[in-house]
Each structure stands twice: as C-alpha cells, then as structure tokens.
Amino acid sequence: MLAVPAAAAAKIPHLPESPGVYLWKDAEGRVLYVGKAKRLRSRVRSYFAGDGPIGVKTEFMLRQVADVDTIVVPTEAHALILEANLIKEYRPRFNIALRDDKSYPYIKVTTQEPFPRVFVTRRLQNDGARYFGPYTDVGAMRRALNVVKQLFTVRSCRYDMPAEMPERPCLDYYIKRCKAPCILAQSQADYAAMIGEVIEMLEGRTGDVTAQVRARMDAAAERLDFERAAELRDALIKLEELEEPTIVLEVEGGDRDVVGYARDGDDACVAILRIRGGKMLARDHRLLENVAEEPDATVLSACLARTYVGAAERAGELLVPFDFEDREALQESIPGTRVLVPSRGPKRDLIELAQQNARHLLEEFRLAASETDERAADPVYELQRELGLQRVPRAFVCFDISHAQGTDTVASAVWFENGRPKRAEYRKFKIATVEGIDDFASMGEVVTRFFRRRVDESKPLPDLVVVDGGKGQLGAARDALEALGLATVPLISLAKRDEEIFVVGRPDPVRLSRRSPALRLLQQARDEAHRFAVTFQRKRRAVRTVTSELLRIPGIGPIKRRQLLAAFGSIQGVRDASPEQIIALPGWSQASAERLLAALQATSPTAGS
C-alpha cells in the first residue's frame, strides 16, 4: 500500500461527497491525471485504500503524485464536461490519449460575425462559430471547400465588417468570386441566406442544396443568362460528385451518429459513422493510446466526452455499442441528442457495421506500425469481445490429451494466428510423468513443458490459451501457468458436451450461439488439436505394436527393427513384403529375409486357422 502524500492527506478528509473533478499533480505542479467522480472524497481516497491490487500504470503515477486539486460541480454531467475540457487543456500524461487529437482539421464558419467567413482551422474554440469535423480524411475536407468556393460567393477577406469597410472591392468581386458585401453591394440578409446553404451542405444535407442550385440554373436559362446557367451546371456536377463517393448505405430516415469500438491491448479505435437524412455520408475515427488497465466502458466514455461535449454539430441520436456508467451524464451534457444502446434490429446492424470499421481501422494502424504482419480475422475480435479480453487473441494455442485405454498417452499443442492454423508452431508431446489415465495431471505436464520451453527460448507467448475439457483441465492448466509466473496469460477451456467455455475468474461458463464465428473458431482449434494428438498417439501405438512383435523374432536387433519400420511402416507391411524388398535393405541376406518372413507368418492372426 502506497503512502499518501502529505499535501493530499491533509485535503482528503475535508473533500465533499459530491460530484466533481480531481487533478493529481507532481512536486512541480504538473497535472499528471484528471478524473471525475460522483463522490470526490470516496474516489480520491480509494487510490490509497489498498482494498485490492492496482495496475502498473496507476502505481507508477501514484509514486509521482505530490498533491491533489479538486473542483466541485453541481452534477455528474458538469463533471463530465469539465473533465473533458481540462484534459484538452493539460493533456495529462496518464489520461487516455486521443492520438493526433490536435492535428485533425475543421471547417470553421464564423457565424458569430455579421458576414461569416469559411476557412480551415485546427483550433477548436468556444467563440460562437460553427465547426464541422474533425476531418480524418483531409482530401474529403478540401473537396468540400472547393465546392463551397465554386457554388457560393463567400468572402475571403478578413475585414471586421461592418466596423471595417474598404473603399472599393477586391479582385474577387471582379472575377465574380464575391458579391462585395464590404461595399454593401450584397445585403446582409442575402449573404446570411447563402451562408445557410453552405451550412446545409457541410451538415450533409446536400440534397436540399442540389435542388436549390438546379432551380437557379433553370431560372438563369429561362432569362437567357446562359453563362450563369453553365456556371451553375458545372457547380451542380461537382456537388453531385461530392455526394456520390460518400453515400455507401441507405438506412431508415433520421440523423444519427453510430459508434463502433475495437481494442487491442494499449491501443483502441472508435469509428463514427455519420448518417444524415437516412444516408451514410462519412466515417470519422479516433485512435486512442495509453488505455492499458482501463476498462472498455471508461475508454469509450472518455472518447465520446472529448468528441461531443462542446461540439456544435450533433445528430439527434448517438448509437453506442455497449452501455457505460456515464451514459446519462453524457446525454445530459449534449442537449438534443439521445444516447442509445441498440440490442437488436436495424440499429444494431448499424452498430455491427461501425464495429467492423473500428476493427479494420485498428488493424491498419497496427499494420502501419509494423506490430503485426497480417490482419486479424473478424472472429478473432468477436472472441475478444465475448470473453472480455483486453488484448485481441491474434495468437492462441490449444492443448489436447489423447491415450488408448490409459496407454500411449500423448498431448498436442496447435497454434493459431489471426484466425488461421500456423503449423510451424505445432508441438506434440509424450507424457512422461503421469501413470495411467489422469487427464488433469497430463494437462498440467504439457502446459508446463510448452511454456517453460517458450520462455527459455525467448519466444513470444500466445494472447490466449485454450484447453480441451472442463473445469478440471482448466484448473490444472491454471496451476501450471501460475507456477511459471504466467498467471496473467488469459486461459479458457472448451467442454465438448455442451460447448461451454470456462474462463479463469468467472464462476459461470460462457455460452455462445452455435452460429457464432467465435465459437466456430474455437471448435476448429479444438478439433485440430484433437486430430494432431490422435494421429500422433496412433502412430506411437503402431510403432509399439510392431516393435513388440519384432522383439520376439531371434536375430532382429534395434537397427534392423528401425529399418523395417522406416521401410514398411507397420507389421502388416513387413508381412506383405517380398524377400527381394527386404534384401534391398542394408545388412539383409536371402536367408535372414526368409527367416523373418517365416517367423511373421507363424505369428499371423490367420496362422493355423
């Protein structure tokens, strides 16, 4: 149990049991971590209570803590908002980090000005302007800006109008890129109506803008202003081109954001599908780092709070893949948006699509970082989710025991990577320390031998261990791993009878749908381990049978026995061989070959019948 710093110890007893935010600081006053709490005193005190084990990251942070500051707020929703703002302000070392959080650009519309401007910015400020983004696809953002410039005569100058007004318009007016509101050649009402159309387009409601542009084009053609009609026609084509590549799905009407989540160890990805007017128009994503030891609910909550709290552009619904403690507080902090957790139907199908996007984006990130050579299959991610694993089981090993009525007991270990067998890593074992039928002890021996060798040879350990059997086999494997100091390696067993999955640390088994890809992957590994073990066990039994029969024949020593086994494979193969085939082996004569065949004929099951 860590000692409480003196400065913090003096404050903790006097903290209120009300919502708020706490800031852990080091001796130099740097903010190490920002957290929120329903009850400040209980939460801050829990760090040093010693009620249970703490993670490595938390322990490392607490060893640097010298003081704590707290801010009391009226409600949990206020605490969520303040936490998000303080994390953006201080970017603490030990908080979950949104990768490249400040590098994503936004399109800013300065709606707080009488004559708004439209431009790109990377600074998100609470200044009354409308911000669209962040754009993770910069190319899509620039295409949108180009359409704005071609369709709308938005001013590009930086005059503080109407306080600053030039005497004459700039070049944009003469090349028809601007209608010169700076000299009142365009009224404020007309300019505001145009900005409204810009905002509609940036919000994704391109259908309304397209209809308005087409109407203006037809009107220009009717008054024989063919030059203007041609300009509007070209702009209309570009507007339709802007919409076409982004519409990938038609869903039930409404505006909603759909969130997908994927995690692998210390990295996570949140994908957000933007649906407007029943059309999927964009996909954003956030890569998160420093999430080790944090539960998935905390990671998702932190990302959504820092994405949506204070954001100007929101949908009516925010669909999330699973519930989290701060969901109601988040909904309260983003008025006008309902935060929902669909469990079935079309909305759940959208969640699954977002989940798949998140998985693929995380795979791309890891491939780019050269942390893996191959993309993990979707069933591997489902296996992670169903078993509650923090790391994706890209590599897992499955063990099986096989014997013949208590004799010739062997074991197998088959290795799967990214959902596929990797036969170069298969291993087979002769059980050496167990007498008779004892699957539990045999499992303990093989797990010990397998992992001890991998540790000694500095080979990578699997992300998951699967054993064929029930609680007994699971317990034996667990004891073996604990004895080797590998208790943190995730371990499960798969029972054949009801396909129940027993997980270390869970009292009740996990039951997956028979159609579940994750269950089918486990069954494939279990069946492959069984096949590999049985094949090895049958081969050993056949060798033992041949050896025992040949031992009864005078003049056949170990070298000749190995020759015969290698050449003919079985005792029946030797019986069926001709003298010429046996003579062809080194050291065999005509007489010895005939003597061998005669002896085998005498011991044949059909002899004397």
Task: Identify the pLDDT of residue 250.
Answer: 47
Q: Which of 242-246, 259-263, 290-294 has the highest mean pLDDT?
A: 259-263
Q: What is the pLDDT of residue 245?
A: 40
Q: What angle do CA 188, 194, 198 make, to 5 degrees?
A: 135
Kindly list the domain boundaries of the chain, sorted by start residue: 6-95, 106-246, 256-368, 382-538, 552-602
* Residue type for position 398: C
How much is the pLDDT for 490? Answer: 93
Q: Is the model's pLDDT at 136 over the cut of 80?
A: no
Please name which of 54, 65, 55 lies closest in space to residue 29, comparing C-alpha atoms.
Answer: 65
Question: Would you place residue 87 in the very low, low, confident or very high pLDDT band (cuts 50, 70, 90)?
Answer: confident
Q: How confident is the model over 366-423, as pLDDT tens digits?
A: 777 655 566 777 889 889 988 988 888 999 999 999 876 666 788 999 999 988 999 9
pLDDT at 253: 60
Distance between CA atoms of residues 221 and 229, nearest Å: 6
Within 8 A by CB and 6+ apart from 355, the residues are 260, 261, 262, 271, 321, 381
Most confident of 44-53, 129-138, 335-344, 366-375: 335-344
Amino acid 99: pLDDT: 66
CA distance 100 to 247: 27
DSSP 338-399: EEE---SSHHHHHHHHHHHHHHHHHHHHHHHTTS-SSPPPHHHHHHHHHHT-SS--SEEEEE
Tokens 């640390």, located at residue: 505
Does the pLDDT at position 476 exceed 50? yes
Q: Is the pLDDT of residue 228 over 50?
A: yes
Give the burial class of 315: count Cβ atoms within 10 A of its Cβ; 0-12 exposed, 13-18 middle, 19 or more buried: buried
Q: 382-538, what's its fold?
A: Nucleotidyltransferase; domain 5 (3.30.420)
Q: What does the pLDDT read at residue 283?
A: 76
- Whether 256-368 shares its CATH topology with 382-538 is answered yes
Looking at 3.40.1440.10, 3.40.50.1860, 3.90.1150.110, 3.40.1410.10, the CATH number of the domain 6-95 comes to 3.40.1440.10
In the prediction, which pLDDT does 52 show?
65
Tell which CATH classification among 3.90.180.10, 1.10.630.10, 1.25.40.10, 1.10.150.20 matches the domain 552-602.
Answer: 1.10.150.20
Measured CA angle at 330 (ends 325, 336), to 5 deg: 140
Write down the architecture of domain 256-368 according to CATH: 2-Layer Sandwich (3.30)
Tell me which range, 32-46, 133-147, 358-372, is most confidently predicted by mean pLDDT. Answer: 32-46
Q: What number is the average pLDDT over the span 163-191?
A: 89
Among residues 560, 531, 561, 563, the alpha carbon closest in space to that of 545 is found at: 561
Cis peptide before 509 (omega within 30 of 0): no
pLDDT of the residue at 581: 87
Confidence of residue 553 (pLDDT cuts 50, 70, 90): low
Band of pLDDT at residue 83, cut at 50, 70 and 90: confident
pLDDT score for 405: 63
What is the pLDDT, as a whole number, of residue 65?
92
Q: Stretch 419-433: mean pLDDT, rounded? A: 90
Q: What are the tens digits of pLDDT across the range 456-466?
A: 999 999 999 99
pLDDT confidence of residue 573: 77
Q: Side chain identity at 499, as an amino acid letter? A: E
CB 157 within 8 A of CB 171: no
Please determine, for residue 313, whether its predicted confidence score (pLDDT) is greater than 80.
no
pLDDT band, very low/low/confident/very high, at 247 (cuts 50, 70, 90)? very low
pLDDT average, residue stretch 286-299: 87
Check the CA dihedral 480-486-487-489 and report its sign: negative
Q: What are the pLDDT digits (tens) for 208-220?
A: 778 888 888 899 8
Nearest Cα to Cα of residue 281 among 313, 306, 308: 313
User: What pTM, to 2 d.p., does this model score?
Assistant: 0.62
Lowest mean pLDDT among 192-196, 235-239, 511-515: 235-239
Compute CA 204 distance to the chain's CA centroid, rounded to the nearest angstrom.
28
Q: Which comes out higher in pLDDT, residue 45 or 243?
A: 45
- pLDDT recorded at residue 594: 80
Q: Which of 177-191, 300-314, 385-399 has the lowest mean pLDDT?
A: 300-314
